[in-house]
Amino acid sequence: MGTFDEHARAVLSVADGRAAPLVRAFLTGLRAGLDDLPTGEPGRDDAEALAAVIGDLLDVRSRTANADPVAEGTAVASPTTDALRAELLSLRETVARRVGEASIGEPADDLARVWATLHLSALRLPRDEAEAVRQEAEDLARQRGSTVAEASPTATSTATTTVHGVRDEVLVPELWLDRRVQAPGLALSPRGKLLRELPRPAAAEEVVRPLFALAGQILVLIEQDPRLHHCLQVIEFSGLRSLAATAERREFAEHLNRRSRAVTEAVPFTGPWLDALVRLHEALCSVVHLPPAPDDTWWGERRLTCNEALAAGADLTPGGSVKFPPARYAAAAGLTRQDISLQLPRRSGQVLVCVKAWSRVDGDVNPGRVIYAS
């Protein structure tokens, strides 16, 4: 007689019938309930271990298990999917040229990854252009007989990973063909899950909650978007480092987790708390593409939200203040130090992204840092 997980895996592997959906729905609900247990609840450690086992059964690859939610798809190669993959690859290369890269390159041989990286690359475009790319991808899929899910991020779906966010938003829609998930989805929602390894801010820290939401999103996105880099100075002193390698992602995630915990462990609206908040903001804003996405993109909007949350926290902290460099690098003198230069003649002299805010905390001044075009 087999064990419970052996039987569960066997049932979940069956493509047809009602057994697999029933078991998957039950396990998904159980896992969600376990994830919702508050800190300090008796048995929480064992519940987290059980949730991890269930996640493995569902093949939902969480961060604690070297996750990659986008890779969850059950695609089956066929002439139809191969043709669609080729068309999506061509569209992705068009997006690459629009965002200033010669090519997106890998991954290229898996439909689920191509679908996901295409939509994630579109987040680097202005909103209207990104929506046009999404629509073109949907049209290509439908022409090949696929279905693109249009459900809201709050809808129950085991094929979409929903991460905590400040508003409902689908980043990667589900792709289906012949009742099979060819590419799972990725969505954001205020009701989405915060990753277990990230601390929860106290109620008094509501004003800076968007920073913690973005921390969870970044931990997921660095696993899925191979074009992301970081310039966190404690790891990479003078330049940018790719996050494509597992070891690099793990090291960055550890620093991000520590900085998140430092905020929750400090007394809100004190000097040490604001100093920790500035460091968390730096870790979040140091994650960029090459070249960095402009302000009128999804990534640019996230940076603006981060800046607003940090400024609000500084305003509520006696003796604390923060400043963000202006758009022209020449006007940033005195606010930044050890900045990073990128060769972008068309944008020469522009501040591309502020990766660290200038701050004054209890009389101590710390310069900011930017990436600028030369």
Residues 84-142: tens digit of each pLDDT = 999 999 999 999 999 988 777 767 778 899 999 999 999 999 999 999 999 999 999 99
Percent of the chain topping pLDDT 70: 79
The pLDDT assigned to 155 comes to 54
The per-residue pLDDT for 373 is 95
Q: Does the pLDDT of residue 277 top 50, yes or no? A: yes
Highest mean pLDDT among 44-53, 64-73, 291-300: 291-300
Tokens (6 digits) for 245 = 């390698």
Q: What is the pLDDT of residue 49?
A: 72
Residue 66: its pLDDT value, please?
36
Note whether 116 and 160 are within 8 A (CB): no
Which amino acid is located at 256 in the chain?
Answer: L
What ranges in the chain are assigned the alpha helix state H?
Answer: 4-12, 19-35, 44-58, 79-99, 111-122, 127-143, 209-224, 246-265, 271-285, 298-315
pLDDT tens, position by position, 187-214: 998 888 777 667 777 777 788 999 999 9
Question: End-to-end CA distance of the chain, in Å?
Answer: 68
Q: Please, what is the average pLDDT of the chain?
A: 83
Identify the band that residue 24 occupies on the pLDDT scale cut at 50, 70 and 90: low
**Which residues pair with residue 341 across a beta bridge?**
372
Give the confidence band of 6 by pLDDT, cuts at 50, 70, 90: low
59 Rama sector, left if φ>0, alpha if ψ -120 to 50, beta otherwise: left
* Better-predicted residue by pLDDT, 178 or 281: 281
For residue 10, the model assigns a pLDDT of: 72
Cα 104 to Cα 335: distance, rounded to the nearest angstrom: 34
Asked if 141 contacts 84 with a C-beta cutoff of 8 angstroms, the reply is yes
The dihedral built from the CA positions of residue 292, 294, 296 and 302, taken in this order, carries a sign that is positive
* Contact predicate 73/176, CB 8 Å: no
Q: How far apart are CA 170 and CA 153, in angstroms?
A: 6
Residue 222: count of CB within 10 angstroms of its CB: 22
Could you tell me which of 209, 221, 195, 223 has the C-alpha nearest to residue 306? 209
> Is the pLDDT score of 72 beyond 50?
no
What pLDDT digit, counting tens, does each position of 322-345 carry? 999 999 999 998 899 999 999 999
- DSSP-derived secondary structure for 73-126: ------HHHHHHHHHHHHHHHHHHHHHT-S---S--S-HHHHHHHHHHHHTTSB
Distance CA 190, CA 163 (A): 8
Tokens of 251: 């090291």
**pLDDT at site 178:** 77
pLDDT at 177: 82
**pLDDT given for residue 120 in this prediction:** 96
pLDDT of res. 51: 72
The answer to whether the beta carbons of residues 114 and 92 sit under 8 Å apart is yes
Q: How far is CA 224 from CA 71, 78, 160, 161, in A?
A: 8, 24, 14, 12
Residue that has been written with the tokens 């008796």 in this structure: 42
Tell me how far apart the alpha carbons of residues 58 and 23 are, in angstroms, rounded to a whole number: 10
- DSSP classification of residue 316: T
User: Does position 263 have pLDDT exceeding 90, yes or no?
Assistant: yes
> Can you give the length of the chain in residues?
374
Q: Nearest Cα to 216, choosing from 165, 264, 170?
A: 165
Determine the number of helices (DSSP H) and then strands (DSSP E) in the chain.
10, 15
* pLDDT for position 182: 86
> What percent of the chain shows pLDDT beyond 90?
55
The confidence score (pLDDT) of residue 13 equals: 66
Query: What are the tens digits of pLDDT across the range 296-319?
Result: 999 999 999 999 999 999 999 999
What is the predicted pLDDT for the residue at 28?
62
CA nearest neighbour of 279 among 243, 237, 246, 322: 322
pLDDT digits over 143-160, tens only?
888 888 755 555 555 688
**Cβ-count burial 340-365 (b if 16+ within 10 Å, e if not):** bebebeeeeebbbbbbbbbbebeeee
Between 5 and 359, the more confident residue is 359
pLDDT beyond 90 at 288? yes
